[in-house]
Amino acid sequence: MAAQAINTASTAAFDRAADWDALAVRARAVRRTKAVVLYAFLIAVSLPIILPYFWLVTIAFSARAGVAETAVLWRSMAVIMPVVVAFWLTVALAQSRRQSWIGIAAVAAIGVFAFALLVGPDLHLGNFIFLWEPDFASVVRSRIGEVKGAVQFPNVWHAFANSILIAGAQTAIVVTVASLAAYYLSRFQFPGRSSMLRSLLVLHAFPVLTLIVPMFLMLYWIGLLDTLFGVILVLVAFELPFAIFIMKGFFDAVPWDIEMSALTDGASRRQAFVSVVLPQVRNGILAIAVFTFIRGWEEYIFVFTFLIRNSNWTMSLYMYWVRDDVMGVDYGVVSAVGVFYLVPSLILYMAAQRYLMQMSIGGVKG
Amino acid sequence: MAKIEFRNVVKRFGAVEVIPDLNLVIEDGEFVALLGPSGCGKSTSLFMLAGIYVPSGGELLFDGHVVNEVETRDRNVGVVFQSYALYPHMSVRDNILFPLRFKKTPRDEALARVTAAADLVRVAELLDRRPSELSGGQQQRVALARALVKEPQLLLLDEPLSNLDASLRLSMRTEIKSLHAQLGVTTVLVTHDQIEATTMADRIICMRAGRIEQVGTPDDLYLRPSSLFVAGFIGSPPINLVAGEAEDGMVTVNGARFPVEGASGSLTVGLRPEHLRIGDTGFAGRIAQIEPMGREILYVVETGMGAVRVLEQGSSAGHSTGEQVKIGFLSENSLVFETERQKLIAGAHVREPV
């Protein structure tokens, strides 16, 4: 009886062991299917996002006679898509680091060669004419025989400098004020502190367009209408609440101990803030600096409303007027201006990505 | 070096009175411990000494001068925080150098003092590292070096050992004590760990709810705790406290009767586990649990007065669980407290049960 029982038990164990292989096979199959479906979905979703950017770049560098062609786009896609897939496969299939480096180098070489062959002959810098020809609008129009009515464009570098000035000054003011205000909110107890914290968020909830008429009138009365300084002040006012809120989270994370320690080490409150607390929130400062700069760089509504003279144009206004004046005549130039406008913020984002990733907003503590 | 004096010091946070009335003198060069459970006001007192909190009333004196209003940075006080509070963005050298930056010490002299302080606590080879690259014990030493480099007149240690593991704690204890002997700086240690306090301090100030419960040497607190609170707080394993009623020279505890001298009324009798022994005479009980502690063995004995802890020397248990035993004690080691006021009745002893 006992022997029989043991027998059955071992058979059962054997059956289960046999099942495990089947289970493993099935699990592997499910995992692979899931991965394939997921990648397919992600590629399908990201294509419509990537494609326009890519098209913008190809038109800017390849369009002749002002027409927005797709031929170059498809040809360059035909090179780049297989190259991306090949990269992916090489990394996935490589047995060692050496192999994967060789594979990547080979794919890159083939890719560059194919690109030079298929797309290379079509590339040129003619659409960036605005960089060296301030009166490019007349030139472009004359190509199709229309000579009159071109907008008087300022030098693009002038608009570029205006944008840098607005974004830079706004960033400097926001970072300084937000750090000080957030430190005070984080460390000091004063009447109205919690309602102030709450109102910070409410302030940010205002759609800026609703305030544009009163802002316009106020700037007019103060005499700052059509000045860069006026726009900078308005932008600072709109950016500050959010920046203060984020900086408060960073200051909250700095332990009291090191601040007290600095005081007992002989520092004054201000010295402790500068030499001990500020270095701890460096990442927060970088994050709000980058965000504020990019906000200022892309600003359109306020500069469009408050700036009138073309010597005050920023890049966004320049872009707007190029589109208004040359669109329909030369898509290539419009795209080229777009690429020129895009590059600085792209570089900034890529350089600061590491710090932006660390930005998190703490909960409101009353 | 400084003599510290608290005179009727009061500290309130809003409506909450954390310290109602503190009077205390710490002699020049002394090593004292502020001991008590969390929330007893010991850290608040420490922060008042450091100048981070300003007393709400009373006077705080350094060497006879009132310092209530003196800024933290002018007090020349070295503090080691529980978290060590090293500056994460600075190297160990810059951390130790930091206090000297504000004293306008010439660069060469400052660096020499940093090296000297680092040598003192044996972190000289770590000077170029960042605090995050140090172990807990090393961070602790760096924090000590930073507190000592400015040659403070007062050294404050806020739970300095609580973040260290057990063996490190033991060696740091010895080290801090020898540092104090070497430098002679007035030192205040804040801790909730009675062993830290008794092993390191010359004098212990036992606090409870913002008031001083007892001030004395470690021996005083152990042998003659003035109140039930101190008796319960000092000693490990904790003291056995049994309630009883005294009448006609006899105390009755849950049926058991002992002779008692010098006391009457409602009593609480304190018997330390190490003063009890399992023997032929005494009150009866049954061993419920045995906890070997290496050098000693702790017996938990169920008696008529509830569970009693008995600590016996030796590493092997001479008794087994469930055994019926008798527990005796030496009458001179018994502590008798008035139950109502929770105070020690000086000179009162219970005798061994008959």
Q: Which of A207, A204, A210, A189 is nearest to A244 (CA)?
A: A204
Contact status, residue B201 vs residue B34, Cβ threshold 8 Å? no
Question: Do residue A80 and residue A166 come from a single domain?
Answer: no
What's residue A14's pLDDT?
53
Listed by number, the residues of chain A in 223-262 with a beta carbon closer than 8 Å to a beta carbon of chain B are: 255, 257-258, 260-262
Question: Do residue A19 and residue A78 come from a single domain?
Answer: yes
Please provide residue A236's backbone torsions phi and psi, each rounded to the nearest 5 degrees.
-60, -45
Question: Which 3-state string (H, E, C) describes chain A?
Answer: CHHHHHHHHHHHHHHHHHHHHHHHHHHHHHHHHHHHHHHHHHHHHHHHHHHHHHHHHHHHHHCCCCCCCCHHHHHHHHHHHHHHHHHHHHHHHCCCHHHHHHHHHHHHHHHHHHHHHHCHHHCCCHHHHHHCCCCHHHHHHHHCCCCCCCCCCCCHHHHHHHHHHHHHHHHHHHHHHHHHHHHHHHHCCCCCHHHHHHHHHHHHHCCHHHHHHHHHHHHHHHCCCCCHHHHHHHHHHHHHHHHHHHHHHHHHCCCHHHHHHHHHCCCCHHHHHHHHHHHHCHHHHHHHHHHHHHHHHHCCHHHHHHCCCHHHCCHHHHHHHHHHHHCCCCHHHHHHHHHHHHHHHHHHHHHHHHHHHCCCCCCCCC
- Extract the tokens encoding B84: 């060590």
Q: Which of B67, B81, B139, B157 to mutate to test the interface with A (most CBs of A within 10 A)?
A: B81
The residues of chain A scoring below 70 in pLDDT are 1-18, 65-68, 137, 141, 144-151, 327-329, 357-366
ipTM score assigned to the predicted complex: 0.83
What's residue B73's pLDDT?
87
Question: Do residue A241 and residue A329 come from a single domain?
Answer: yes
Question: Do residue A259 and residue A301 come from a single domain?
Answer: yes
- A271 in contact with B, Cβ within 8 Å: yes
Please provide residue B78's backbone torsions phi and psi, each rounded to the nearest 5 degrees.
-95, 130
Residues in B touching A271 (Cβ below 8 Å): 102
The rounded distance, in Å, linking the Cα atoms of B61 and B72 is 14
Question: Do residue A195 and residue A314 come from a single domain?
Answer: yes
What's residue A165's pLDDT?
92
In terms of residues, how long is chain A? 366
What's residue A365's pLDDT?
35
Please provide residue B263's backbone torsions phi and psi, each rounded to the nearest 5 degrees.
-145, 155
Q: Note whether residue A314 is domain-resident.
A: yes
Please provide residue A204's backbone torsions phi and psi, each rounded to the nearest 5 degrees.
-70, -20
Contact B78 A264 (CB under 8 A): yes
What's residue A1's pLDDT?
45
Dihedral sign computed on CA atoms, order B218, B220, B224, B226:
negative
- Residue where one domain finishes, among candidates A79, A104, A124: A124
Q: Give buried/exposed letters for B184-216 (b at 16+ CB in 10 A, else e).
A: ebbbbbbbbebebbbbbbbbbbbbbebebbbbb
- Residue where one domain finishes, among candidates A124, A145, A180: A124
The rounded distance, in Å, linking the Cα atoms of B307 and B273 is 11
The rounded distance, in Å, linking the Cα atoms of A104 and A243 is 42
Q: Which of B81, B162, B68, B43 is nearest to A255 (CA)?
A: B81
Query: pTM surpassing 0.90?
Result: no
- Please give the residue range of the domain that contains residue A312: 156-357
Q: How many angstroms from the chain centroid is the CA of residue A52?
A: 16
Q: Which of A184, A176, A307, A161 is nearest to A243 (CA)?
A: A176
Contact A258 B85 (CB under 8 A): yes
Residues in B touching A265 (Cβ below 8 Å): 73, 98-99, 102, 146, 150
- Extract the tokens encoding B2: 């400084």
Rg (C-alpha) for chain A, rounded Å, is 30
Question: Do residue A223 and residue A343 come from a single domain?
Answer: yes
What's residue B9's pLDDT?
94
Read off the CATH number of the domain in which A211 is found. Answer: 1.10.3720.10
- A126 in contact with B, Cβ within 8 Å: no
Contact A260 B87 (CB under 8 A): no
> Which amino acid is it at B218?
P
The rounded distance, in Å, linking the Cα atoms of A199 and A206 is 11
Residues in B touching A275 (Cβ below 8 Å): 98
Beta strand segments in B31-185, E: 31-35, 57-62, 65-66, 77-80, 154-158
CA distances, A361 to each of A41, A201, A243, A246, A284 (Å): 30, 12, 10, 6, 10
**Residues in CB range of B179: below 8 A, 6 or more apart:** B120, B121, B144, B148
How many other CB atoms are there within 10 angstroms of residue A82's CB atom?
A: 14
Please tell me the distance in Å from B50's CA to the nearest CA on chain A: 7
Residue among B47, B77, B102 minimizing CB distance to A267 = B102
Name the strands in the sheet holding B186-191, side by side, starting at the edge strand that comes first in the sequence. B77-80, B154-158, B186-191, B31-35, B203-208, B211-216
Question: Do residue A193 and residue A298 come from a single domain?
Answer: yes
Nearest Cα residue in chain A from B145: A265
Question: Do residue A64 and residue A199 come from a single domain?
Answer: no
Question: Do residue A324 and residue A182 come from a single domain?
Answer: yes
Bridge pairing between strands B306-313 and B296-303: antiparallel
Q: Which of B10, B26, B20 is nearest to B64 (CA)?
A: B26
Listed by number, the residues of chain B in 208-267 with a beta carbon closer than 8 Å to a beta carbon of chain A are: none
The rounded distance, in Å, linking the Cα atoms of B227 and B233 is 10
Residue among B50, B87, B101 minimizing CB distance to A264 = B50
Please tell me the distance in Å from A270's CA to the nearest CA on chain B: 12
Q: Note whether residue A54 is domain-resident.
A: yes
Q: Note whether residue A100 is domain-resident.
A: yes
What's residue B78's pLDDT?
92
Q: Note whether residue A279 is domain-resident.
A: yes
- B85 in contact with A, Cβ within 8 Å: yes
Contact status, residue B287 vs residue B319, Cβ threshold 8 Å? yes
Contact status, residue B296 vs residue B236, Cβ threshold 8 Å? no
Question: DSSP letters along B22-61, please?
Answer: EEEEE-TT-EEEEE-STTSSHHHHHHHHHTSS--SEEEEE
Question: Do residue A218 and residue A99 come from a single domain?
Answer: no
3-class state of residue B17 by DSSP: strand
Contact A255 B86 (CB under 8 A): no
- Give residue limits of the domains in chain B: 4-228, 238-350
The rounded distance, in Å, linking the Cα atoms of B329 and B284 is 12
- Residue where one domain finishes, among candidates A80, A109, A124: A124
Q: What is the dihedral of CA A328, A330, A334, A340, to 10 degrees?
A: 180
Tally of domains within chain A: 2
Q: Which of B345, B353, B342 is nearest to B308 (CA)?
A: B353
The rounded distance, in Å, linking the Cα atoms of A182 and A259 is 16
Bridge pairing between strands B335-338 and B250-253: unpaired
Please tell me the distance in Å from A280's CA to the nearest CA on chain B: 7
Question: Do residue A189 and residue A310 come from a single domain?
Answer: yes
Contact status, residue A226 vs residue A161, Cβ threshold 8 Å? no
Q: Note whether residue A132 is domain-resident.
A: no
The rounded distance, in Å, linking the Cα atoms of A157 and A163 is 10
**Residues in CB range of B217: below 8 A, 6 or more apart:** B202, B203, B204
Contact status, residue B278 vs residue B310, Cβ threshold 8 Å? yes
B4-228 CATH:
3.40.50.300
Q: Which of A151, A123, A122 is nearest to A139 (CA)?
A: A151
Task: pLDDT tens for chain B, 354 residues: list them.
Answer: 689 999 999 999 988 999 999 999 999 999 999 999 988 989 999 999 999 999 999 999 999 999 999 988 889 999 999 889 999 999 999 999 999 988 888 999 999 999 999 988 888 899 999 999 999 889 999 999 999 998 899 999 998 888 888 888 888 899 899 999 999 999 999 999 998 999 999 999 999 999 999 999 999 999 889 999 999 899 888 999 888 888 888 888 877 778 888 778 888 888 899 988 888 888 888 999 998 888 889 999 998 888 889 998 887 768 888 889 888 888 788 888 888 888 888 777 888 776
The rounded distance, in Å, linking the Cα atoms of A12 and A14 is 5
What's residue A309's pLDDT?
79
Question: Do residue A184 and residue A59 come from a single domain?
Answer: no
Please provide residue A117's backbone torsions phi and psi, each rounded to the nearest 5 degrees.
-75, -45
Superfamily classification of domain B238-350: Nucleic acid-binding proteins (2.40.50.140)
Nearest Cα residue in chain B from A277: B87
